[in-house]
């Protein structure tokens, strides 16, 4: 079925006539995380994490569970965003927002064909576009629960940032994202499964090699790091110019990957 893994709650200030908080519903492979951000103070207020049990074969039990067990779902919000966090995406230079068939073909070329999938695109500046797929079942259920919500891909929230030279790692329950920027130019963006320590070290360093960068000149910036659990970060850090662990007040480091909006 489903269960509530964790919840951290601050004071919500939105009312029917004064909505000052946004709700971000982050959909992972087997979990959903609610993130509340105060839009005026630019501060994060609350977070809830719901996860499926291993025997679940659809999203319906998890969504039904959070409908009855979330402390955040019934509040007033200025905006609600549905955020898919999935490796089924590509960064393209093709403007496909007016031609979803073309976008679907481009996505299938990289990730293979998938039945019952809705295609979405997001623009990133003037030259790049994200193309990603969302399962029809998931899209239909969440859109029915939150009819005013807008879909985005998790990657769109950091790909638009102006950066110089760094290797970013964002760690989640079962995967991590590597994003490499060299003098403001995206060199690599990819999702990888969290595996054993040595394999994770190899994946990180080999990704840097494939991107053609000298790690001794790059900052390693990490979200979602847990001491004692993600030792591959500690062991890979000496290969980089410096290491920065992102921390968020009032929540464990494990959830810093969710505070980027």
* pLDDT value of residue 96: 58
111: tokens are 């990730």
Q: What is the CATH number of the domain that holds 178?
A: 3.30.420.260
What 3-state DSSP class applies to 47? strand
Residues 64 and 102 in one domain: no
* pLDDT value of residue 95: 64
Structural domain of residue 19, as residue ranges? 2-77
- CA R_g for the chain: 19
Q: Is 27 within a domain?
A: yes
- Given a contact cutoff of 8 angstroms between Cβ atoms, the answer to whether 221 and 168 are in contact is yes
Give the containing element (helix H, strand E) for 19.
none
Residues 235 and 251 in one domain: yes
- Specify the number of domains making up the chain: 3
Q: Is 139 within a domain?
A: yes
237: tokens are 């850090």
Residues 181 and 204 in one domain: yes
* pLDDT value of residue 56: 66
pLDDT (tens, 9 = 90+) of the chain, 261 residues, equals 688 898 999 999 999 999 999 999 999 998 999 999 999 999 899 999 999 877 667 788 888 888 888 999 889 999 999 999 999 998 887 665 566 777 888 888 888 888 888 888 888 766 678 889 998 888 888 888 888 898 999 999 988 777 789 999 999 999 999 999 999 888 999 999 999 999 999 999 999 999 999 999 999 999 999 999 999 999 999 999 999 999 887 788 889 999 888
From 103, 136, 157, the end of a domain falls on 157
* pLDDT value of residue 127: 67
Nearest in space to 141 (alpha carbons), one of 131, 132, 151: 151
């Amino acid at each position: 079925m489903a269960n509530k893994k964790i919840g951290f709650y601050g004071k919500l200030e939105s009312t029917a006539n004064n909505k000052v908080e946004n709700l971000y519903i982050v959909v992972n492979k087997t979990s959903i995380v609610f993130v509340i951000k105060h839009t005026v103070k630019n501060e994060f207020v609350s977070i809830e994490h719901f996860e499926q049990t291993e025997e679940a074969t659809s999203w319906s039990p998890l969504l039904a569970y959070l409908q009855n067990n979330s402390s955040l779902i019934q509040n007033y919000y200025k905006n609600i965003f549905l955020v898919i966090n999935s490796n089924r995406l590509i960064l393209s230079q093709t403007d496909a927002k007016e031609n979803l068939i073309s976008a679907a073909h481009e996505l299938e070329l990289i990730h293979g064909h998938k039945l019952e999938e809705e295609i979405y695109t997001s623009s990133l500046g003037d030259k790049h576009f994200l193309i990603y797929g969302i399962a029809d079942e998931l899209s239909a259920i969440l859109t029915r629960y939150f009819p005013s919500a807008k879909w985005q891909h998790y990657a769109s929230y950091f790909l638009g940032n102006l950066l110089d030279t760094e290797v970013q790692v964002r760690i989640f329950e079962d995967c991590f994202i590597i994003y490499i920027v060299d003098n403001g130019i995206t060199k690599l963006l990819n999702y990888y499964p969290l595996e054993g320590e040595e394999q994770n070290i190899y994946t990180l360093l080999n990704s840097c090699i494939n991107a053609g960068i000298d790690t001794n000149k790059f900052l390693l910036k990490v979200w979602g790091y847990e001491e004692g659990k993600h030792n591959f970060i500690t062991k890979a850090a000496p290969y980089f110019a410096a290491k920065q662990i992102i921390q968020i007040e009032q929540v464990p480091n494990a959830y810093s990957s969710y505070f980027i909006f």
